[in-house]
Amino acid sequence: MSDNQTNSGAVTAEFKRAMRRLASTVTIISTADVNGNRYGMTATAVSSVSMDPPSLLICVNQNASIHAPLLERGAFCINVLTTEHEELVNAFSGRLTGSERFTVGEWRDDASGIPYLDGAQCNLVCDIDTVMPFGTHSIIIGLVTGVRVAEGITPLIYADGKLAASQSLTTGHVRIAANLSSISEFLPQDLKSFRAKNPLIRIHLEEKVSTAVVSAVAENAADVGLITEGPKTGELKVFPYRRDRLVLVVPSAHPLAARDIVSFTETLAFDYVGLHTGSQINLQVQKVASELDQPFKCRMQVTSYDALCFMIEAGLGIGMVPEKIAQTYAKALDVRVVKLDEDWVERTLAIVVRSYEALPVAAKRLVDHLRRLSA
């Protein structure tokens, strides 16, 4: 450590460097004024004061936009963040301002109108008891009036001027049933980021068609399901996951290869290569062809997108594939991607569970992770 104790500027600089060595849990302090306008800021200067009465201390810069409404309202909530909340840190640290900050994350209002973060490690609602100005900040002591605590311990840590990874202490086993599109388009990277933050949670993944995924979740053969919307889900809880778009893949020498966009009706003049029986793409295409009173000439059925694209490259038919996957194969194979001029090719992928509230802790953490990524 520097010995320039006589130079106040040097002491301040060294103090800042020293504080970078102090790892702290990241929180968001939230409040609302008497008109319901929300205010929030990230904070690491949070500490317990006493257990009797339960009380906390926070430090707020007197120039911060939250300072005046916080003191006027006399109440606030400390939202302790998890490793899933890095995007909230950016939103509440200057990227967004005012009420815009609350468009990131799932925010609710308690009975008194104080906003709190749903899915935080914990929420601590406080009434202001004491305010002590000191230097550039106000030291505020709050009496704790309400507490919500989530299962699992995954605090988001700030050290050395940046967010630091903290490994989840949550253990468990999650059974996932997912359709081919979610596995091929989104799930690999989503599970990779989940495993990086939750290394002690084991995942078992099984591919099924969407209708079978719904059955597996309903029958408790899977904790979490990923489907393409379409099958009846009954009493299952459904959350939006991602969106994709179907496109046409054709051999490079095909009559439709020179087109940028075609109608579905035009494609029915040609032989198709389709996915296996029960796939949501096949069911959708058959349904629309039936409504048009035209035959769907599916000459071959395969179980994967790569097999489908290889068959198309060989000139054995045309096929429908999610655009993200089609673009990948178009770079490697002698095929062309043609857009379809139809509204129904826009699809929603969804998460299905029997009951979110009844999920095991590990499965609930995965669902929260996937929902945040979808947002």
Domains parsed from the chain with CATH numbers: 8-164 (2.30.110.10), 167-375 (3.40.190.290)
**Does 10 or 355 have the greater pLDDT score?**
355
Mean pLDDT of 284-288: 94
Question: Does residue 3 have a pLDDT over 60?
Answer: no
- Asked if residue 291 has pLDDT above 50, the reply is yes
pLDDT for 171 equals: 77
What confidence score (pLDDT) does residue 166 get? 53
With a cut of 50, say whether residue 257 has pLDDT above it. Answer: yes
DSSP track, 284-342: HHHHHHHHTT----EEEEESSHHHHHHHHHTTS-BEEEEHHHHHHHHHHSSEEEEEE--
Interval 104-145: pLDDT, tens: 888 999 999 999 999 899 999 999 999 999 999 999 999 999
Handedness of CA 143, 146, 151, 155 (dihedral sign): negative
* pLDDT value of position 296: 94
Within 10 angstroms of residue 183's Cβ, the number of other Cβ atoms is 18
Confidence of residue 7 (pLDDT cuts 50, 70, 90): low
Query: Is the predicted pLDDT of residue 365 greater than 90, yes or no?
Result: no
Closest CA to 276 of 176, 134, 179, 153: 179
Q: 329, 309 in Cβ contact below 8 A?
A: yes
Span 232-249, average pLDDT: 96
- In angstroms, the CA 216 to CA 175 distance is 10
CA distance 167 to 203: 17
pLDDT for position 164: 63
Tell which wins on pLDDT, 4 or 201: 201
- Separation of CA 154 from chain center: 16
**Residue listed under structure tokens 């599109």:** 181
Least Cα distance to 244 among 329, 361, 126, 348 occurs for 348
Mean residue pLDDT across the chain: 91
Cis before residue 133, ω within 30 degrees of 0?
A: no
Residue 2: pLDDT band (50, 70, 90) is: very low
pLDDT at 339: 97
The mean pLDDT of 206-215, rounded to a whole number, is: 96
Burial of 165 by CB count in 10 Å (0-12 exposed, 13-18 middle, 19+ buried)?
Answer: exposed
**Cα gap 365→151, rounded to integer Å:** 9
Token look-up 């008109």 returns 35
- Residue 80 pLDDT greater than 60, yes or no: yes
Residues 161-177 pLDDT 10s: 777 655 555 678 999 99
Average confidence (pLDDT) over 154-167? 72
Token pair listed for 58: 């926070």
- pLDDT for position 132: 96
Between 171 and 352, where is the model more confident?
352
Q: Give the chain's end-to-end CA distance (angstroms, integer).
A: 45
- Backbone angle region of 277, left / alpha / beta, with phi > 0 → left and psi within -120 to 50 → alpha: beta
Among 348, 228, 226, which residue's Cα sits nearest to residue 281?
Answer: 228
- What DSSP assignment string belongs to 129-157? EEEEEETTEEEEEEEEEEEEE-SS--B-E
Question: Does residue 265 surpass a pLDDT of 60?
Answer: yes
As a whole number, mean pLDDT of residues 54-73 equals: 96
Q: Tally Cβ neighbours within 10 Å of residue 293.
A: 6
Q: Return the SS3 of 114.
A: coil
Arithmetic mean of pLDDT, 214-222:
97
Q: Does position 266 have pLDDT exceeding 80, yes or no? A: yes
Give the 3-state secondary structure of residue 253: coil
Q: State what percent of residues in the chain have pLDDT above 70.
A: 96
DSSP summary character for residue 236: -
Percent helix, strand, coil in the chain (nearest 5)? Answer: 30, 35, 35
In this model, does residue 1 exceed pLDDT 50?
no
pLDDT, tens digit (0-9, with 9 covering 90-100), for 15-30: 888 877 777 899 999 9
